Amino acid sequence: MPRKIVKSKFFFEEDFVETIAEVSTEKYKDWENNDKLKVVGKPLSRIDAYDKTSGTAVYTFDVQLPGMAFARILGSPLPNAKLKKINIKKAKDLPGVLDILTSENTPKISWYNNTTLLFDPHVRCEGDEVAAVVAETEQIALEALDLIEIEYDELPFVSAAEDALKDKSVKLHDLGNIVRGKPDEYNRGNVDDGFKGADIVLEDKFTTQIAVHNPTEVHCSVASWVGSKLKVWDSTQGVFAVRNTIAESLNMPESEVTIITPYMGGGFGSKLEAGKYSVIAALLARNINRPVRISVDRKQMNLIMGNRPDSIQTLKAGVKKDGTLTAMTLTSVAAVGAYPNGGGCSGPVRQVYKCPNVKTTDYSVMINAGRARAFRAPGHVQGTFALESFIDELAEKIGMDPLEFRLKNYSETDPISGNPWSTKLLREAYKKGAEAFDWYKKRKTPGSDNGHIKHGVGMATQIWGGIGGPPANVTLKINNDGSVIVLGGTQDLGTGTYTFLAQVVSEVLEISIEKMQVIIGDTSAVPYGPQSGGSITSPTLSPAARDAAEQMKSKIISGASAVLDLPEDQLVYKDAVVYAKNDKSKSISIPELMRKMHEQMFITNGTRSPNPEHYALNTFGVQFAEVEVDTETGKIKVLKIVAAHDIGRVLNWKTCENQFHGGIIQGLGYALMEERILDYNTGKVLNTNYHEYKIPTIKDIPDIEIYVVSTGDTLLSNTGVKGMAEPAIIPTAAAIANAVYNAIGKRMKSLPMTSDKVLNVLYS
């Protein structure tokens, strides 16, 4: 069959890709019929479920090495200051203290795009690293931190993005406070013309809070040297990214650094990049010639390990009486903390609706507080809250049902590129979700319930990537007994990566899941692969796994052909046995084949094919929310969420539902309670623990119904998988906010929708 060559738009030199790439979908049509699949798509328990629930799974914090010492970090108590004097003598004299690092005795390793150092004598936020102690026990290390004496030159600080934009504001960096020196802008059509053509023009302002990732497992590393070689166990979403940063920081070849992440307890984006703590652990371990475990505590995590930036979003739209959007503009301002990061949230405005004239301006602004990091669907969660609240307002203004209004402005092609989508089943998602939720029956006039408990319903749309692409590899080895070693260029941040890799290989080779040994999260063993972020892990790795397995099947058939002395086209592969088509008595199993071939190990490497050109590639979905608002207490209770999404093929129903539940619950926390509170007078964070920073608990969790309206996206890859971990959280807060409006007839324009804000909106 002729191979159609497609060039990759990403990562590779184009002509290089041309020689190696093929559109795998031509070869792999047989997965189009979901019903034929035996393992893929099924609700299988995780292959590591027992290890995790029994406590035998080894997380970074569980790693125990002979002679291991323990390190902790001292953070700045001030939001902006220069270190005048550091005295470590008392700390050093404490029995059990082994070594101390500060800006005075540590190599100048640049960090955060060269805006600071590993230990910078200028601290720009509370928690910024000023020293690290390694000791015989963690307790001694903590005591020693208290004995380090530092004199600071206190500097004025800035705590809010709007203040940091003012001319007379404190400047965090030479370039000023705006990341990259200017806002991110996007423009299509002509918005002035668009507004002129509108019957109604509406403007409104929405704000969202800073939220902290707060994964269960705190950030930690164990660093160990053997001669010139460094091994680091790290709680990370990207073993290769961490390896590269550590190698670069320590000026070592990548071949001498190994990163291992067998299991980790969540990241949500806060563990996408290497942390300073990992490099600090490596330096300390080298200095004392012993393995070192370092970890932050919950407070440090809340201060400096990342957050979702806040936003002030001003939206303006023009709409015709029939509901047609004629123009939309968005200006957003986000506080991204003390070092550069992206705070833009205009993605949904640019891409969800057909609107021909769109202009967006995103300011990412630095302030003296812990730096933002990508957080589950960065930008889209805050952007969708504002856009989808605003769309509801527009629909009401012209007297249309919110769902009808969205269908009126449905975009059949990608409004950004003009390309068709590989698949877009949002209409089907709207239909499925509305039916399951009983939308048209539950809709009511806003605020029309009698009594102080008011019910309401709302909905919101979601768009995201979650597509992935090359480079990514999966390597397979067949053992002599017919069992399989699967080496995946990835790590499992807790989403079920081990399991889907085993499923895909099992499906193709018809070898049971129990015979799969999946090895991931080890840079010295596995082939290259990307960070687990952007919901790309399964859409990127599953095609590589299928490719490797299909190659392995070909290899087995070709080996059988030689041994049975029959041409390949007269052989069939079934249940890991190769049969002669016309004579079922002639057959050979994999163990027999291996023996005949003198136990030569069959190895294949599968790669992720490039994405198709000239198509837009996205995930879509809708969530419907039903709430109850107590107008006496201001308390919002979410009763039900119905989610209907287009996410391509589902590899495993159980882990898919896990992701939806997690995303929706995290979205509910964002909507109702989660908020990092920074005291403007002191520049300090007031709630750095689970007691004061509220996240949802079991009593807050509503009924959740999940519908997936898609099957495999055959244009996309040989598995047709799109990612769903981020789509799950994107529309939740907006759907809840719209339901609250429907309940009380007053719009909540500021997240989180705490009781005090609800009462304010109701009675002021």
The angle formed by the CA atoms of residues 746, 752 and 758, to the nearest 5 degrees, is 35
For the chain, give the number of residues.
764
261 contacts 234 by C-beta, under 8 angstroms = yes
Element (H, E) at 638: strand 636-646
Question: Shortest Cβ distance from residue 539 to ligand MOS (Å)?
Answer: 12
Beta strands 602-607 and 473-478 are antiparallel
Q: DSSP label at 3?
A: P
Least CB distance to ligand MOS at residue 263 (A): 16
Residues at the contact surface with ligand MOS, assessed by CB under 6 A: 237, 267-269, 272, 374-376, 378, 533-534, 726
Would you say 349 or 374 has its CB closer to ligand MOS? 374
59 or 268, CB closer to ligand MOS?
268
- Minimum distance, C-beta of residue 242 to ligand MOS, in the bound complex (Å): 14
**What's the CA dihedral at 743, 746, 749, 752 to 10 degrees?**
-50
- If the CB atoms of residues 237 and 497 are measured against ligand MOS, the closer one turns out to be 237
* Alpha helices, DSSP H, located in 637-731: 653-672
Between 291 and 466, whose beta carbon lies closer to ligand MOS? 466
Sign of the CA dihedral running 403, 384, 669, 633: negative
Peptide bond into 471 cis (omega under 30): yes
Least spacing, CB of residue 273 vs ligand MOS, in Å: 10
The burial class, CB within 10 Å (0-12 / 13-18 / 19+), for 167 is exposed
Least Å distance between CB 176 and ligand MOS? Answer: 27
* Between 402 and 534, CB nearer to ligand MOS: 534
Residue at shortest CB range from ligand MOS = 269
Tell me the two tokens of residue 406: 């969205």
Closer residue to ligand MOS (CB): 70 or 268: 268
Of residues 102 and 341, the one with the C-beta less far from ligand MOS:
341
User: Cβ 307 to ligand MOS, closest distance in Å?
Assistant: 12
| Shorter beta-carbon distance to ligand MOS: residue 237 or 329 | 237
Minimum CB–partner distance for residue 648 and ligand MOS (Å): 17
Q: Is 598 exposed, middle or buried (0-12, 13-18, 19+ CB in 10 A)?
A: exposed
Q: What is the sign, positive or negative, of the torsion defined by CA atoms of 393, 399, 402, 408?
A: negative
Smallest distance, ligand MOS to C-beta of residue 578, A: 42
For residue 3, the minimal CB distance to ligand MOS (Å) is 32
- Of 269 and 634, which has the nearer Cβ to ligand MOS? 269
For 468-519, give the secondary structure using H, E and C.
CCCCCEEEEEECCCCCEEEEECCCCCCCCHHHHHHHHHHHHHCCCHHHEEEE
Q: How far is the CB of 724 from ligand MOS (least distance, A)?
A: 12
| Cα 715 to Cα 720: distance, rounded to the nearest angstrom | 7
Cα 14 from Cα 12, distance rounded (Å)? 6
- C-alpha 98/C-alpha 286 separation (Å) is 12
Q: How far is 539 from 550, CA to CA, in rounded Å?
A: 17
> Would you tell me how many other CB atoms lie within 10 Å of the CB of residue 188?
15
Is the Cβ of residue 402 or residue 663 nearer to ligand MOS in the bound state? 663
Residue 128's contacts (CB-CB under 8 Å, 6 or more residues apart) are 75, 76, 116, 120, 304, 338
Residue 261 or 329: the one with the smaller Cβ distance to ligand MOS is: 261
Q: How far is the CB of 159 from ligand MOS (least distance, A)?
A: 25
